[in-house]
Amino acid sequence: MLRFTVFSLLIFLTIGLTAEKAAAQESRQISLQEAVNLVLENNIDIRRARNNMERSEIDVRRATGAFLPNLNATTSANRTTGRQFNQSTLDFDSFTQNTISGQVSTNVPIFTGWQNISNLRSARAERDAVENDFQRLREDMIIETGNEFLQVILNKELLSIAKDNLETSRKQLEQVEAQVEVGMRPIVDQFNQEAVVANNESEVIRQENTLNLSKVRLVRLLQLDQLDDYEFVVPEIDDEMLMFQDYDLTELIELALESRRDIRSREMRLEASEHSLRAARSGYWPTLSFGANINSNYSDQYRLSEIVDGEIQRVTVGFSDQFFDQRVNRSIGFSLNIPIFDRLQTRSNVQNERINQRNLELDLIDTRSQIFQEIRQAYNDYLSFAQELESTEKALIAAEKAFETQQERYNVGSSTLIELTTANNEFVRAASNQVQATYQFVFQRQVLEYFLGRISEEIQL
């Protein structure tokens, strides 16, 4: 009996803990700021861009290393069998010879036609361009996350409005059924109201599906587990966020040209191409370098002539005496290379760099033009959303009063169900428009900051 009680208690605790864990994991709350942090940490494009930044740093280090001297060490060991010159007999003979050789050399660039300097400056400019690309990509992902998050919140609000409308229509159906039952309303009003309820139920289903699809897109953007459930927190909007802010279009354009990361990236790449052009032209210049070399050899057939007991004899020399003393050679010198004809390679490189430079100049012009267009569009959208917000607020107040009036008239029998349904539809439409206009107006200010190049990670709707 005791064992059964203990076993039952363990099962109860296990089920309780499992249920508690499942409830805790049922829905993860994610705010807008957390969504931005997740996309900046998990997004694949951002991780690729971070790798490109690391590669650009490597290119700078490689260009810096071109100024340093190199140092090479080589060694080889060979065995030769066959007819060859014999130093002992001073004649050709067939025998086996073992040799070992070693060499250490260095080369110091003195003048390379400014190629090293140009390559280093080009690598640094390219690194700055890649860094600006990385920062602009982060801004892209921030605004995209905000846009997807906004869509989820809008769909969530529209679903709430659809549910409220369904609840209202159901209550209205109960009222109509009661009036039909006592003979105050014709049966056709009940049928019409039942159709309205069915349509509202279908609208709730459509809004739920739209909300789920927008959540799927946002979860994929955040690189989260698609099988988990997430609840996206509706951000609070205060009166200060709904205040209209007056902007000067000329100042906005000038600010964008100074702040945008993408135009900085275009300028850095144009600067890098100028240095690359100088590096290509260095092929027309002579190059000067300093070199030093030390090498040594060993051969088991190497002999020296010595006088032994008054006679000249060929004496074998050991490895240490040969390799570290007698057969060591040292050399230093300068090398001047004067290009005379390189099969048009330098000329082709220069022409290619000039073409690349012209294309980058066109990219810069196109980016400036694109910035003008984006700022004007964002500014006009901001003005449009501000006017739309004001008009939707007025429309909502009017639609609400009209619906209340039609409700009262219908209750006393001076209005038809069709008129009441029409007023209710207008009220729902006005509420939906007002919700969308509110969030779009608040978010459009962030869009304007994005096109100005001033958006930060602490984005707000």
Instruction: Please list, in sequence order, all residues whose beta carbon lies within 8 angstroms of the beta carbon of residue 209, skipping any fewer than 6 positions away.
Output: none
pLDDT in the model for residue 460? 64
Looking at residue 192, its amino acid is N
Q: For residue 63, tell me if it sits in a domain.
A: no
Q: Is residue 313 part of a domain?
A: yes
Start-to-end C-alpha separation, the chain:
62
Between 81-95, 382-396, 435-449, the lowest mean confidence (pLDDT) is in 81-95
Domain assignment present for residue 3? The answer is no
Of 133-137, 230-234, 286-290, the poorest mean pLDDT is in 230-234
Number of DSSP helices (H) and strands (E) in the chain, helices first: 10, 8
326 domain residue, yes or no: yes
Inform me whether the pLDDT recorded for 6 exceeds 60: no
**282-322 residue pLDDT tens:** 999 999 999 999 999 998 888 776 766 666 667 788 899 88
Domain CATH for 438: 1.20.1600.10
| Rounded Cα–Cα distance for residues 114 and 117 (Å) | 5
Query: Are 178 and 317 in a shared domain?
Result: no
Of 35, 26, 28, nearest to 150 (Cα)? 35
For the cut 80, the answer to whether the pLDDT of residue 346 exceeds it is yes
Query: How confident is the model at residue 24, as a pLDDT?
Result: 43
Residues 234 and 263 in one domain: yes
Same domain, yes or no, for 104 and 116? no
Q: Are 93 and 83 in contact (CB under 8 A)?
A: yes
Q: Are residues 259 and 189 part of one domain? A: yes
Amino acid at 298: Y
Residue 384 and residue 249 share a domain: yes
How many distinct structural domains can be found in the chain? 2
254 and 136 together in one domain = yes
Q: Is the model's pTM score more than 0.85?
A: no
Give CA 378 to chain center in angstroms.
23
Can you give the pLDDT at residue 9? 35
Q: Mean pLDDT score of the chain, rounded to an integer?
A: 88
Beta strands in 396-456 (DSSP E): none
- Are residues 277 and 208 part of one domain? yes
Q: What residues make up the domain containing 103?
A: 75-111+288-338
**Number of neighbouring beta carbons within 10 Å of residue 161:** 20
**Which pLDDT does position 88 carry in this prediction?**
62
Predicted local confidence at residue 268, as pLDDT: 97
Is 382 inside a domain boundary?
yes
Query: What is the C-alpha to C-alpha distance for residues 388 and 189, in angstroms, rounded to an integer?
Result: 36
Q: Are residues 263 and 326 in the same domain?
A: no
Task: Find the mean pLDDT for residues 146-151.
Answer: 93
Verify that 293 and 409 share a domain, yes or no.
Answer: no
Residues 6+ positions from 284 with CB-CB distance below 8 Å? 113, 339, 346
Judge if 192 and 246 occupy the same domain. yes
Residue 12 lies in a domain: no
**Residue 83 located in a structural domain:** yes
In a domain, 442, yes or no: yes
Q: Contact at 8 Å (CB) between 231 and 30? A: yes
127 and 170 fall within a common domain: yes
